[in-house]
Amino acid sequence: MSPIRLIVVLLAIVSLAILYFSILFTLIRNNINKLYKLFEENDAFSYDRALNRQDLNAQAQSFMERAVVKRNYSADAFEFLYKNRIIKGTHDKFYFDRKNLKTEKKNANFLM
């Protein structure tokens, strides 16, 4: 393979990877906004008003569900917010923590 052809192939692979991740981040960002609106509509900013994952439509999909039906990125957005301590709660009830949003937003600024 000639060096020019190799460079073209590598550039194509890199551009496809960049396109894939930019689409993925956009979908997760949109779902973060949807989750926030659901928390806001239900005033779920304390444990007393907490919601479960079914209310948020953020249940993880199985492999077969992802293969057959449209992918639900709400679960990925939920996991991102939960791991960054913006969503808090127990195993069944969750609420949006506004205090941690301000501190963690600096670390997760590329998505929020």
State percent of the chain over pLDDT 70: 90
Query: What tokens were used for 3?
Result: 């060096």
43: left (phi over 0), alpha (psi -120 to 50) or beta: left
Q: What is the pLDDT of residue 107?
A: 60
User: Do the strands 94-96 and 87-89 form a parallel or antiparallel pair, or are they unpaired?
Assistant: antiparallel
Specify the long-range contacts of residues 60-64, CB closer than 8 Å, at least 24 apart. Answer: none
Q: Is the pLDDT of residue 109 over 70?
A: no
Tokens encoding 83: 């791991």
Q: Mean pLDDT across the stretch 64-90?
A: 86
Report, as an integer, the average pLDDT of 81-92.
86
Average of per-residue pLDDT across 57-82: 85
**What's the pLDDT score for residue 92?**
85
The predicted model gives 1-20 an average pLDDT of 94
Tell whether the model's pLDDT for residue 104 goes beyond 70.
Answer: no
Mean pLDDT of the chain, nearest integer: 86
Cβ-contact 107, 84 below 8 angstroms: yes
